[in-house]
Amino acid sequence: MNWTDSLNIAIALNEAHPEVNPSIVNFVDLRQMVIALDEFDDDVNKSGEKILEAIQMNWIEEKE
């Protein structure tokens, strides 16, 4: 899974952290959560605010 796989990352985060409200997760914590996913296999330094925002928005939608 790469940074650009925002929907797949959101699904994996929702499964890994069902107790977390994604709308209150800051980008620093979100980045760490993504990197910690077993399926994640990308350069950890390639994330940016737009990518993290897309992941967070998809995660919020998955939660609903």
Report all structural domains of the chain as residue ranges with CATH numbers, in order of start. Answer: 6-63 (1.10.10.600)
Return the closest-CA partner of residue 52 out of 11, 1, 9.
9
Q: Letter for the amino acid at 3?
A: W
Taken in order 6, 4, 25, 29, is the CA torsion positive or negative? positive
Q: Letter for the amino acid at 34?
A: V
pLDDT of res. 40: 97
Q: Letter for the amino acid at 47?
A: S
pLDDT of res. 44: 93
Instruction: Report pLDDT digits (tens) over 1-59.
Output: 999 999 999 999 999 999 999 999 999 999 999 999 999 999 999 999 999 999 999 99
pLDDT of res. 32: 97
Residues 16 and 37 sit within 8 Å (Cβ to Cβ) = yes
Provide the whole-model pTM.
0.93
